[in-house]
Amino acid sequence: MERENWTSKLGFILAAAGSAIGLGNIWRFPYVTGTNGGAIFILIYLAAILFIGYPILVSEMTLGRKTEKNPIGAFKKMASNTPWPIVGALGVLSGFVILSYYSVVAGWGMSYIFKSLNFTAESNFPQIFSAHISSFTEPIIWHGIFMFLTIAVIGAGVVNGIQKLVKILMPILFGIIFLLIIRSVTLDGAAAGLSFYLKPDFSAITFQTFTDAISQAFFTLSLGMGVMITYGSYLSEKESINESAAFVLVFDTLVALLAGFAIFPAVFAFGLDPASGPGLTFITLPAVFTQMPFGSFFSLIFFLLLTIAALTSSISMLEVVVAFLVDEYNWNRKKASYLMGCLIFFVGIPPLLGYSSFSNFNFLGMDVLDTYDWFTNSIFLPTGGILTSIFVGHIWGSKNSIEEANKNSSFHIGSIYSLLLKYIVPAAVLFIMLFNIYQTIS
Q: What is the CATH number of the domain that holds 281?
A: 1.10.4160.10
* 2 part of a folded domain: no
Is the distance from CB of 58 to CB of 277 less than 8 angstroms? Answer: no
What is this structure's pTM? 0.91
DSSP letter, residue 5: -
Full DSSP string of 12-26: HHHHHHHHHSSHIII
- 150 is a domain residue: yes
- Whether the Cβ atoms of residue 104 and residue 145 lie closer than 8 Å to each other: no
Range of the domain at 46: 9-441
Q: What share of the chain is helix, strand, coil (3-state, %, to 5)?
A: 80, 0, 20
Determine, yes or no, domain membership for 431: yes
Integer Cα distance of 238 and 296 in angstroms: 47
Judged by DSSP in three states, 6 sits in coil
Domain count, the chain: 1
The answer to whether position 3 is within a domain reads no
Tell me, yes or no, whether 358 lies in a domain.
Answer: yes
Cα of first residue to Cα of last residue in the chain, in angstroms, is 52
Residue 402 lies in a domain: yes
CA quadruple 337, 339, 345, 350: dihedral, nearest 10: -140
- Tens of pLDDT along the chain (442 residues)? 556 778 778 888 888 888 888 878 887 888 888 888 888 999 999 999 999 999 999 999 999 999 999 999 999 999 999 999 999 999 999 999 999 999 999 999 999 999 988 888 889 999 999 999 999 899 999 999 999 999 999 988 877 888 888 888 888 988 988 998 998 899 899 999 899 888 888 888 888 888 888 888 877 787 888 999 999 999 988 889 999 999 999 988 998 899 889 888 988 888 878 777 667 788 888 888 888 888 888 899 989 988 998 998 899 999 999 999 999 999 999 999 999 999 999 999 999 999 998 999 999 999 999 999 899 988 999 999 999 999 999 999 999 999 999 999 988 999 999 999 999 999 999 998 998 899 888 8
Q: Is residue 1 a part of any domain in this protein?
A: no
User: Is the torsion defined by CA of 331, 335, 341, 342 positive or negative?
Assistant: negative
